[in-house]
Structures are given as structure tokens and as C-alpha cells.
Amino acid sequence: MYIDAAGFHYADYPTVLAYIQDQYRTIYGQDVYLEADSQDGQWIAAQALMIYDMMQMAASVYTSFSPLTAIGDALSRNVQINGISRRVATYSTADLRIIGTHGTQILNGVAEDSAGIKWRLPATVTIPSGGEITVTATAEPIGAITAGANTINKIATPTLGWQSVNNLSAATVGVAVESDGELRIRQAQSTMIPSQTVMDGITGAVQSLAGVTRARGYQNSANTTDANGIPAHNIAIVAEGGTTQSIADVIARKKPPGIPTYGTTSATTYDQQGVPNIINFYRPTVATISIEVSITAGIGYVASMIDDIKAALVAYIATLKIGDDIYLTKLFVPANLLNQVSVQTFDVTQIRIKKNSGSWVTSNITLAFNEVASTAASNITVIAS
């Protein structure tokens, strides 16, 4: 083992085994029998494996000191230097319209969506005199649970006086525990906070806020409105997650004075002298991407690989940034399960995609600057032949 300008180096197991065998023969003679069916050979192999395992551990310790190569807990510890921490899993939420008889109390009520997912209402919901109330329900499973508009429409806990339930808008999707890859991206963005580039600094600061999962910044330096509809000399931040006020406050602190902000979400901030300032930004519009994969099964193919393909595509879409387009050809990489044993058991012959309720296409899908792609296994179909 040694460390040089290129990094940490250590021998592979066959090299370690051969070295110990050579040393053994130097002591006991070149004619000693050390094959795998001998007692001495087996003992030497056990020693070589212990040494090799120790080298691997040393390599893991070496790589754990950098956020570029650290994994798991080591990465979680590294990013604390940048003032951030690994994002924990969150629950999806949805605003539900409850209709029923005035005065009805719904205790620990539960609604159900078309996929059978349960959504828990607040502990106590009292229907007012108008006969309806809107409350925020939380999905029972943690993570990225999706629910389109008008899909949470079943009463799972019948209550006298509770007549109907429905979500008029799509649910706000929760997130799974932040993966190492996602955390590395956010760590790199966090280093931009003290940068000399203003937009990098603003975006990095927003990205580091608690609850913010993705953020992207745009600026229009021209004298006319740009192709995104951003007025001249304005900046626009698109932020997913986090509270409206905290996002507005950090934009106000980081942006240059006199530069207007643009977006459909607004909040009032106050400077050190108590002067109010309205900050505008965007919340991303979710573009639900449906994917249809056609495959030709080969030797060794099993039906369970369909779930692996779906999972790989969901994971890929989750890595896209706000405003990133969907490039059809790039979907072939996760769909083929590259670097997995099953890659040789099937062939992907065609992929079709569509956005929201649009038509199926075999071409790229362009997203608006303030849209973000999202999908789930239920949005993916794999056709095997």
C-alpha cells in the first residue's frame, strides 16, 4: 500500500496471495506444495484474505475524507463542513376538500386514493356551517408518493355526517432519504454560497435551506423580456420545498440591491432598518412523465426484471434538475440496467414517453424553465415479448 500524487494504491487479492506464497517457499523450500487442496495452501489463503480486507478498509478510510468519494455515514459527516446535512425522508401531502353535515367531527379520519394509498387527515376535523372544509392530509407511507388531482376520493374511515372527500389539485410529493449522489450534488451547490457569481450564490443559499430539495436560478440581463418570460434585468429563482418565507428571506439577503425578482410566489421581507421588500420567486410545476418500454426477452430473463427497469427509470428521472428536458436516448441507459448481471438477458427495442396527459412520442420532451420532471413506477409500463 502507498499514497502518491495519483491517490491511494493497494494490491489485489491474487497479488497478495502470490507474495505470501513466495515468502513461504523462501523459508520452507521451492518444492513445498501450496495448492488450494493443501492445509498450508488454505492457511496462506486465509492470511492473504485478511491482509487484502485490511487494505480495502484502509482504502475506504482514505476515500472517506472527500465528499467526492465518501459514502454513507462518512459522506453525511463530510457535508456538515459546508453547513448542510443529509435530507431525511418526508411524507407527501395533499389538500382534501371534505364535504358533510355541519358540526360533524371526524376523528383520526383516513381517505384513500385510486391506488389504494391511505391519506391521514388531521386528528380532529370539524365540518363548519358551510358544509365543507379543506384540510391537509398526509400519506401513510413515507417518501415520494404521488397522487394526481381528483384521485383521493374514497372515505376509508366512514363517519356519520362525512359525505365525500376529494383533492382538487395534485399532491405535494415527499422525498425519500437523500442518496449519496444527490447529497454530493447539493454539497457542490452549497460551496457556491460565498462565490463571486451572484446567481450561483443565491441558488446555493436557497438550496441549503431546510426542506428545499431542488433549486435553480435564472437571470435576464437583456433590455427586453427573454424567452422564459422573465422581464428585463430581473432574476427568477425556482425552488422546490422549503417555506415561502425562508426562501424569500435568503433571496433578499443575497441579491444585489435594486435588482427586481420575478415569479408567481411572493413574500414580504424586511431589511435591518425594517423596510419592507416584496420578493418574488417560482414554485416548480410538476410534469408527470409516463414511460413505455418495449423489450425483447432473452435467455435468463425473468419477469421480476420489469420492477428493476421501473426502479432504474424512476431513479434517473429523480436526478434531473428543475427545467431539465427529457432526452429520449438517455432513458435507454437506465432501462437497459447497465452494470447489472441482467443486462444481457433482454434488449430494449423502443421507448415512448409522454408528459402529463399528452400524446406518446418517440422524441425528446421539452420542459419549461420552471417545470420539474417526476415519475413513479405506476407511470411506467414495460412490454416484454
Partnered with residue 382 across adjacent β-strands are: 293
CB 90 within 8 A of CB 128: no
Only one residue has cell 486465509, namely 46
Tens-place pLDDT, residues 91-109: 888 889 999 999 999 999 9
Please give the distance of CA 158 from its chain centroid, rounded to a whole number.
36
Which pLDDT score is estimated for 163? Answer: 95
Output phi, psi for 317, to 5 deg.
-60, -35
C-alpha cell at 360: 406518446
- Only one residue has cell 412523465, namely 289
The conformation of residue 318, written as its DSSP 8-state character, comes to H
Cα torsion angle, 182, 293, 373, 149, sign: negative
Cell numbers for 183, please give them. Answer: 447529497
3-state secondary structure of 181: helix
- Quote the pLDDT of residue 339: 67
* H-helix or E-strand spanning residue 360: none
Specify the residue for cell string 407527501.
92
336-379 pLDDT tens trace: 887 676 677 888 999 999 999 999 999 999 999 999 999 999 99
**Rounded to 10 degrees, what is the CA torsion of 264, 282, 244, 201?**
-140
Tally the residues of the chain: 385
Q: Residue 368 has what pLDDT? A: 94
Dihedral angle, C-alpha 187, 250, 370, 171, nearest 10 °: 90
Return d(Cα 15, Cα 203) in angstroms, integer. Answer: 49
The confidence score (pLDDT) of residue 247 equals 92
Query: What is the distance between the alpha carbons of residues 44 and 268, in angstroms, rounded to a whole number?
Result: 72
Q: How many CA atoms lie within 13 A of 350 on its CB side?
A: 10
How far apart, in whole angstroms, are the C-alpha atoms of residue 366 and residue 358?
12
Tell me how far apart the 2 most distant CA atoms of the chain are, in Å.
98
Residues in the chain predicted with pLDDT less than 70, given as ranges, are 190-196, 339, 341-342
